[in-house]
Structure 1
Amino acid sequence: MSASIAVPATPVRAASAAGRATARLQVSLAASDAELRESQRLRYRVFAEEMGARLHNTLPGHDHDALDVYCRHLLVRDGASGELIGSTRILTDASAQAAGGFYSDGEFELAAIRALPGRVMEIGRTCVHRDHRNGATIATLWAGLAAFVAEHGIAYLIGCASVPCADGDARAIYADLAPRHLTPPALRVTPRRALPPTAAPRRDYVLPPLLKAYLRVGAQIGGEPCFDPDFDCADLFIVLDTVNLERRYARHFLGRDA
């Protein structure tokens, strides 16, 4: 694997939501199997050790699946220490065809997405080290994604945003977001697994940071959530028309006008 993304040659200096300067971060695509393994180890620490997800891995201490070899892996590092602190993977439409489908195909019926004009790419397996879950890290990830989108002519970004199922959080979040953030009917997807029965939705939930980040750059929700038994959570299907990504990204994550 070789890195082809046009990211800044110097480390990215991002700003938090409050506009404060942060430590320098670096974003790049994984350029070796060793870097891919780093990403898989970070994913394992976040998903298995921290979140308690049931992973179907055969390599101890690594989160991996059959799609990894078809994906590009975007990495965020601490510029001072070189430590990997964030990761997401990119699956383009061409690579998804070679792989037999997107990851989201396992959770949603995607006929409406396949009919979209222009190139589509899926982002997934996004994770950030618990000590670096802040606006700067998310902004740096989006800087890399925005560069990839521009370089490869991507028209639509898709992916899944996870929300808790406990105590009706998922139902409450969907009910509150749907009136403002649902896609047009022609772009709706159908979940393959309905949410399990729960108590009445509660209103004191916390919106997950990744979902909040998607919505801030103009993403829409593609319909009812799908239940993910391995993570014991609900996944919302996300669609983002990238036309306004650069403008929204600059305003919401870098604290400046486009």
Structure 2
Amino acid sequence: MHARELHSEDASGLFKLEQPFDDPLRKALFALMKRPLARLLCFKKLNSLYESVHNQVEAGQDFVDVVLDLLNVQVNINEESLRHIPAKGPVFVVANHPFGIIDGLILMKTMRMVRPDSMVMANSMLGMIPEMRPYLVEVDPFGTSESAKRNIGGLKAALRLLRQGHMIGTFPAGEVASLRLRKRMVRDPQWSPIVAGIVRKTGAQVVPMFFKGRHGPLFQALGLVHPRLRTVMLPRVNLKKGNQAVDVTIGKPISAAKTRSFATDEEAINYLRFRTHILRRIDRKKDKASDGQLEETPIAAPWPHDDLMREIRSLDEERILLRSGEFLVFETGVSRMPGLLHEIGRLREETFRPVGEGTGRELDTDRFDMTYRHIVLWDEENERLAGAYRFGRTDELLARQGIRGLYSSTLFKLRPELFERMGPAMEMGRSFICSEYQRSYQSLLLLWKGISEYVTRNPRYKTLFGCVSVSSDYTPVSRELMVRFLRRHRAVPDLEHLARPKRPPKLKYVKRLDISLPETAFNDIEDIGVVVGDIETDKSIPVLLKQYLKLGGRILSFNIDPDFGDCMDGLILVDLRETERRMLNRFMGPDKAATFLEYHGVLPADETK
């Protein structure tokens, strides 16, 4: 039903049905149905509401606020996320469309909290309300030949406003979300690529915005009978949306360079839709293990300081890997250093618990600590442990104990062929930096320089592998995004069958978004980090995972560890011969890096890598 059939501004009210027919029979039938249709469309209530709105606006009040107040719709917006809206420059806000006209009002309210110059590109039917016209760039979503002609003016206006540096918001779906019977989900229909075309032409930033909610089963059922029945019901169901709150989530801005990086407008709009709908996952519950179900014992008291210092002073000089300022980095076994092992276990647990990991025991130690080596970051000035890394020499461990001598065998089914193909390797794990030392990247850098120094002294270990953790403090959808990216871009297809997870993660959240993403959507881990940052708000990709990837790390498999706070472990492999030379130089130093590569027969020409 088009605007001309609804709109008249005479004494009988703004909303009424006009006679659309000329022939006598249809005119008579329409006259019989006019009153029941008007009741169905809630015209009496709409006109009463409009009269109240009109009077308050005439008295100087804001139109959008008045309507939302009269409908008693509360808009919940995280003030921190409002900062994601750029204060100046061309911006196109894209949002899902769960309700109808209320969406447009909420969108206008939210945008104008930051940018009073904002407008909404929306259904021209809304222009029948005089007070809404100043906020609108009008388009006709009905898809007729007349619609195309009318939309030319609206699209030109949108292009002009963005090029002038204004902000526009829109609903690229063009119609309200409805039930997709085959998918058994309520979703927006396909988004219009025209929106992406406008963005790419104007160089505007895009801000995704998600409104939580949907219409009830009656509305969805009528839509299955005929889509126009949904349209007819919109006034009634929007009026009933009163007396409730709508949660609004705002994502981080997407650069013009990103939207222009796609080959087509269709690819770009699918990416924008994904970035919008992924925001629905922010308020979802995390893994059950992250809800505090793990029973925790109080963490052990520190080891007596004087006894610990006697152990540190007893270290052989050859165990010292490097010194830097107040820090000392050394490697050692702990079979004869009970105090150091106690402090490592105590501080591991103290560091891991706040981020959803940890064992729940008073000390985070296990049987592998006694057979593995430890690289320790020691603060000499304050005489305390700042961090540590555990590593096992696979050639020695396999010879003595077989595969069960490796920590990773507790999480993955490892086949001997994996180690035959890798050769001598160092299995890395249980790394931590105490919270007081996490403010600076220097602590992790020194640990990695310590590892690199150990490798240069023992160059047969060309491969690092082990478990890198993504804690259950991350939402399941964030962890799934990391898994999907790493499987697509950093997998080792010819080795992954040699390392099978005992408890693989369930991947179901991204699939439910029902959005086909182009291959170029996520080219590197930073692309995923931006999306994870939208979902988590307080963190991005784990630092250690990014560090391994910078070294050229590749993923063999993923597993969920129920004994460690249900964290997700990625089994990662780094062949140091293939690490970029600038990274090796950074950690080993140019001369030692050259010696290491020469040991493995890597030619000088490879220095350009």
TM-score computed with the length of structure 2 as normaliser:
0.36
CA RMSD of aligned residues (A): 3.0
**Corresponding position of 1:62:** 363
Is 1:234 equivalent to 2:568 in the alignment? yes
Is 1:185 equivalent to 2:519 in the alignment? no
Aligned partners of 2:466 and 2:567: how far apart in 1? 15
Aligned-partner SS, 1:172: helix
Aligned-partner SS, 1:154: coil
**Corresponding position of 2:392:** 91
Is 1:200 equivalent to 2:510 in the alignment? yes
Structure 2 residue identity aligned to 1:149: V
Is 1:154 equivalent to 2:154 in the alignment? no
Aligned partners of 1:194 and 1:117: how far apart in 2? 23
**Corresponding position of 1:26:** 328
Aligned-partner SS, 2:462: strand
**Corresponding position of 2:349:** 44
Is 1:7 equivalent to 2:321 in the alignment? yes
Q: Cα 1:172–1:256, aligned 2, differ >3 Å: closer, same or farther?
A: farther
Among candidates 407, 411, 436, match of residue 103 of structure 1: 407
**Corresponding position of 2:480:** 171
Structure 1 residue identity aligned to 2:437: H
Is 1:74 equivalent to 2:378 in the alignment? no
Q: Cα 1:96–1:127, aligned 2, differ >3 Å: closer, same or farther?
A: farther
Contact 1:216 1:252 in 2 (8 A): no
Aligned partners of 2:580 and 2:450: how far apart in 1? 11
Aligned-partner SS, 2:392: strand
Cα offsets for 1:131-187 (capped at 9, x unmatched): 222321111111111122222321211111111452311110121233332224235
Q: Unaligned stretches of 5+ in structure 1? A: 13-22
Once the two structures are TM-superposed, the CA of residue 110 in structure 1 deviates from its matched residue by 2.0
User: When the two structures are aligned, how many residues end up with a matched partner?
Assistant: 241
Contact 2:468 2:545 in 1 (8 A): yes
Structure 2 residue identity aligned to 1:27: V
Once the two structures are TM-superposed, the CA of residue 30 in structure 1 deviates from its matched residue by 3.7
Contact 1:162 1:233 in 2 (8 A): yes
Contact 2:491 2:556 in 1 (8 A): yes
Q: Cα 1:30–1:114, aligned 2, differ >3 Å: closer, same or farther?
A: closer
Aligned-partner SS, 1:239: strand
Aligned-partner SS, 1:142: helix
Structure 2 residue identity aligned to 1:29: E
Contact 1:182 1:220 in 2 (8 A): yes
Contact 1:218 1:248 in 2 (8 A): no
Contact 1:113 1:187 in 2 (8 A): no
Aligned-partner SS, 2:421: coil
Aligned partners of 1:24 and 1:256: how far apart in 2? 24
**Corresponding position of 1:15:** none
Q: Unaligned stretches of 5+ in structure 2? A: 1-310, 512-527, 534-539, 594-609
For the pair shown, the structure with the greater C-alpha radius of gyration is 2
Aligned-partner SS, 1:240: strand
Contact 2:428 2:464 in 1 (8 A): yes
Cα offsets for 1:101-152 (capped at 9, x unmatched): 2111111122242222521221111111122223211111111111222223
- What percentage of aligned pairs have identical amino acids? 26
Q: Cα 1:240–1:168, aligned 2, differ >3 Å: closer, same or farther?
A: same
Aligned-partner SS, 1:236: strand
Aligned partners of 1:247 and 1:98: how far apart in 2? 35
Contact 1:75 1:86 in 2 (8 A): yes
Once the two structures are TM-superposed, the CA of residue 98 in structure 1 deviates from its matched residue by 3.0
Aligned partners of 1:34 and 1:208: how far apart in 2? 30
Once the two structures are TM-superposed, the CA of residue 233 in structure 1 deviates from its matched residue by 1.8
Aligned partners of 2:570 and 2:359: how far apart in 1? 20
Contact 1:119 1:155 in 2 (8 A): yes
Once the two structures are TM-superposed, the CA of residue 218 in structure 1 deviates from its matched residue by 1.6
Once the two structures are TM-superposed, the CA of residue 217 in structure 1 deviates from its matched residue by 1.4
Aligned-partner SS, 1:140: helix
Greater relative CO, 1 or 2 (CA 8 Å, sep 6+): 1
Aligned partners of 1:37 and 1:76: how far apart in 2? 15
Is 1:209 equivalent to 2:537 in the alignment? no
Aligned-partner SS, 1:200: helix
**Corresponding position of 1:137:** 443
Aligned partners of 1:145 and 1:75: how far apart in 2? 10
Contact 2:505 2:559 in 1 (8 A): yes
Aligned-partner SS, 1:211: helix
Once the two structures are TM-superposed, the CA of residue 52 in structure 1 deviates from its matched residue by 4.5
Q: Cα 1:178–1:5, aligned 2, differ >3 Å: closer, same or farther?
A: farther
Aligned partners of 1:80 and 1:54: how far apart in 2? 28
